[in-house]
Structure 1
Amino acid sequence: MLGVVVEDWVRVNVDRATKLHIQVSGASAVIRDVEGAFMATTACFLPIVSLAFQAELLAIKHGVELAQQLSYQKVQVKSDSSQAISIINTCVDRASAMDLLAGDVLHNAASFTASKFISITRNNNGVAHCLANVAVSSGTRLV
């Protein structure tokens, strides 16, 4: 991002963890400033969500909601699910559950002055993944 001032942006790394054998998932979001300093996190248990893609979209939704609650205005949401990022970035008004969930994410993100949804590698998402595993194991929501 050459020549672009990014000091007022926050990064929201999101991830999910899924335990297929018991059909539950966990979702997490970690908010950091532009220098990588920790600012906030949330992790929540998702009962009866066994589809990894759906859990990833819910993690993105929870991350956007946390950024809204904390009144951040410029938000970069980063996920290691290129499929989830793609559906949000190309959201079409269709009636599928995933498109409706992506539409909810975009509706919430409209409150920001600027937002970006970016696909990253799993190697760059370790903390969010660990917290999603904690959410699966705890069976509760943590903020």
Structure 2
Amino acid sequence: MAKTDVSGLSQLGAHTALPASPSEAVLERVPFGSKGQGAAVRFTAPEFTSLCPMTGQPDFAHIVIDYIPGDWLVESKSLKLFLHSFRNHGAFHEDCTMEIANRLVELLSPEWLRIGAYWYPRGGIPIDVFWQTGPAPEGAWIPDQGVPTYRGRG
């Protein structure tokens, strides 16, 4: 089994301050040693927060990111810091979701990526945002994201 090259990472294993904004966050990647085997990777962030750009009130979401790597994997600590950087960032749900997706696609050039952002109600209306780069590759096993749409209490 080959050892993953982590020599270019700046955050893993070091104290890293929380970025003040998503644009300041540094997403890092490591080589994927099993390219072409159809492995799907999932990250789940059930306590994602951002701010409403109009009121400054907090917005909450359950984010699920699935991807089939090409040459690269996202380094998980850098992803965690990137996602946390939205806590003081004011943007609409759709914009937050697409900023996450676009940054990951730009960094990784994955074979395939999808994001499901299940936002909790604000003003009485939940907003769920879904996006993917295209159809999943044939033969890929991509489980359901497992997050039910909002049904209220009861």
Common fold, TM-score beyond 0.5? no
- Structure with the greater relative contact order (CA < 8 A, sep ≥ 6): 1 or 2? 1
Which of the two has greater helix per residue? 1
Larger Rg: 2
Q: TM-score, normalised by structure 1?
A: 0.36
